[in-house]
Amino acid sequence: MRPPDFWMTGGFPAGLLAPAGAITGRLTARRVARAGWRAPVPVLCAGNPTVGGSGKTPLTLDWAARLSARGINVHILTRGHGGATHRPTRVDPNRHTAADVGDEALLLADAAPTWVGANRAATARAAVQSGAAALLMDDGLQNPTLQKDFSALVIDGGVGFSNNRLLPAGPLREPVAAAAARCQVAVMVGADHTDAASLLPPGLPVMQARLAPEPDMLALAGQRVVAFAGIGRPGKFFLSLQEAGIIPAETTAFADHHVYHPHEITSLRERAAALGMPLVTTWKDFVRLPRAERGGIQPLGAAIAWAREHAIEAMLRAVVP
């Protein structure tokens, strides 16, 4: 689904739905109060209080790369949104598709052993039994089944907490203060255009980061492209192209986790060919495409870049010595 406009602007619809939002808040508070399983290895969670993308997956990939570089056998846990697999399952990119395990899981599995499953505790047990020395949760801040040793509140600086209302009046799964109280740090991805940091507890450290283009994106600098994306904020991808010096001559936005039909891809490919331009998309969209439909489409990516590199290294070493 695409988020309704009033999630950003507020107004009458948001006010009308506010009582339902209060119910959401109570239900979430009741759920997160439950005691979860304590894993015998460190558990780190990249979470947020809102639905939709904020940078959790890039942050998880960054943590995985840093811990793996130190020789730590890190495993990643994710819900597998959009996939049909619910029992604890280790992701095999050669066998599983996005329809099986979700698109994020396929991206994460390229970085470290990745597990999907509805019950995080059961999935964590399976990962530990397979030798995991540390567990990274991509999302799951509101999931109480597994205790966390360290949680980061990930914030998209471009939209912040939108209208700061609870579902369905806004995008929040719980009040910002409640989510932040269970976190040890906030990670602001991009400039804080909405002053979201002012809603955080005064004592919560805020680490500044941004999504920096990877070499495959920089190689297209100066070129005109046809771009499409079906992520939480497609405009964020199109803006990242511009920031990398790429000119998105035509753009097409789809809903988050959109399941592409062959005729849609054919239409996009034919349009790019008619204009004589490369057809580009995100890696998250690319892995969601049927393998037979990936020809002629170039996936482009961005990675987390930190304002203070030493700070994130020190934080990780404190949690995972």
Tell me, yes or no, whether 71 and 145 share the same domain.
yes
Name the β-bridge partners of 198. none
**Are 165 and 232 in a shared domain?**
no
In a domain, 1, yes or no: no
Give the tens place of pLDDT for each residue, 273-297. 999 999 999 999 999 998 889 999 9
Looking at the domain assignment, is residue 249 inside a domain? yes
User: Does any domain span residue 127?
Assistant: yes
| Domain boundaries, position 172 | 6-211+306-319
Same domain, yes or no: 142 and 23: yes
The count of C-alpha atoms lying within 13 angstroms of the C-alpha of 223, restricted to the half-sphere facing its C-beta, is 16
Average pLDDT, the chain: 95
When pLDDT is cut at 50, 70 and 90, the band that residue 36 belongs to is very high
Co-location of 162 and 311 in the same domain: yes
Domain match, 173 and 30 both? yes
Asked if 19 and 117 sit in the same domain, the reply is yes
Q: Are residues 20 and 68 in the same domain?
A: yes
For residues 64 and 92, state if they share a domain: yes
In a shared domain, residues 69 and 189: yes
The whole-number average pLDDT for the span 88-94 is 96
Q: What is the pLDDT of residues 226-254, one digit of tens each?
A: 999 999 889 999 999 999 999 999 999 99
Q: Domain check: are 37 and 64 in the same one?
A: yes
State how many domains the chain has.
2
pTM across the whole model: 0.94
- What pLDDT was estimated at residue 53? 78
Q: How many CB atoms lie within 10 A of CB 240?
A: 23
- CATH assignment at residue 183: 3.40.50
| Side-chain half-sphere exposure of 133, counting CA atoms within 13 A | 11
For residue 1, the model assigns a pLDDT of: 61
Residue at token pair 């399952």: 89
